[in-house]
Amino acid sequence: MTRPLVAGNWKMNGSRADAQALIAAIRADMQGLDAVDVAVCPSFVLLPVAAQALASSTIALGAQNVCDEDEGAYTGEVSGAMLRECGCRYVIVGHSERRSLYGESDELVARRFMAAKRHGLVPILCVGETLEQRDRGETETVVERQLAAVASAAGSDAFEAAVIAYEPVWAIGTGKTATPEQAQQVHAFIRDYVSRRGGEGVRILYGGSMKPANAADLLAMKDIDGGLIGGASLDADSFLAICRAAAQGA
Ligand code: PEP
């Protein structure tokens, strides 16, 4: 049985005080979650205060992106070494907001993925289709293209020790969620793809308007190993309820 992972993507939200308060509220109610890995991914500038607030807890820290290069003249970027120094274990790469709002290509995402691995960070690689692509029946083609960019750049065991997040773009921040069956179908496709490329044990998270009301049904599916949570991760009770649903499904 794969150990579930529930990671909160805080996006560009919160002050230092908000980060401290949210982490304190999560830490205060972690009982019963021994079987689940829990992580929070604040914005870059909140990483140090979050690391402090997480000290000696089992909750891991993650970032929301990483530079594909190691150091030098890359204004606005943050390197894997810097993230490690801040105490990060995970880093999200290829989030659809990065791909669509900031033009990150499959190839750039693949390079960021490799930089994460080079620095000993666990990449959480986001893949997923838009509504138009789903309506045209292209879901698997799009997801395969996004995975293939990583596979061709990172080689035969590209996905070893990585995490994949299936995030249908039409479900992110919209309140629309993939049905458990829709999600399972794509997760099984991803499982098959990555298993043939060093990723037998990878955790495949679902992301897209996951909340306490729908988490248990999604997390009960065979190939859904946890969640990448946006909006609901900003509320400690909602985030913890999702973590508990993952614990029950484990
Ligand atoms: C996300 O941004 O990764 C996400 C899943 O957001 P939300 O849960 O708000 O849909």
How far, in Å, from the CA of 227 to the mean position of ligand 1?
A: 9
Per-residue pLDDT at 175: 85
Catalytic residue among 97, 104, 129, 167: 167
Residue 130, both tokens: 């838009």
Q: Residue 24 and residue 70: Cα distance in Å, rounded? A: 33
> In order of start, what are the domains of the chain with their CATH numbers?
63-226 (3.20.20.70)
Of the pLDDT bands very low, low, confident and very high (cuts 50, 70, 90), residue 2 is confident
Residue 175, both tokens: 């309140």
Residue 220 has pLDDT above 60, yes or no: yes
Per-residue pLDDT at 1: 56
> Annotated catalytic, 119?
no
The whole-model pTM stands at 0.97
Q: Which DSSP string corresponds to 65-133? A: ---SSSSSS-TT---HHHHHHTTEEEEEES-HHHHHHS---HHHHHHHHHHHHHTT-EEEEEE---HHH
214 CB less than 6 Å from ligand 1? no
How buried is residue 101: exposed, middle or buried, by Cβ count under 10 Å (0-12/13-18/19+)?
A: exposed
What is the C-alpha end-to-end distance of the chain, expressed in Å? Answer: 7
Q: What is the DSSP letter of 2?
A: P
Per-residue pLDDT at 176: 86
- Determine which residue's CA is closest to atom 1 belonging to ligand 1: 230
Of the pLDDT bands very low, low, confident and very high (cuts 50, 70, 90), residue 60 is very high
Phi, psi of 66 (to 5 degrees): -150, 145
Is the Cα dihedral 152, 153, 156, 157 positive or negative?
negative
Residue 51 has pLDDT above 70, yes or no: yes
For 175-190, write each residue's pLDDT tens digit: 888 899 999 999 999 9
231 CB less than 6 Å from ligand 1? yes
- Determine which residue's CA is closest to atom 2 belonging to ligand 1: 230
Mean model confidence pLDDT for the chain:
96
Residue 65, both tokens: 């992106």
How far, in Å, from the CA of 8 to the mean position of ligand 1?
A: 9
Q: Residue 200 and residue 33: Cα distance in Å, rounded? A: 25
> Annotated catalytic, 95?
yes
Contact criterion met (CB below 8 Å) for 35 and 68:
no
228 CB less than 6 Å from ligand 1? yes
How buried is residue 81: exposed, middle or buried, by Cβ count under 10 Å (0-12/13-18/19+)?
A: middle
How far, in Å, from the CA of 14 to the mean position of ligand 1?
A: 16
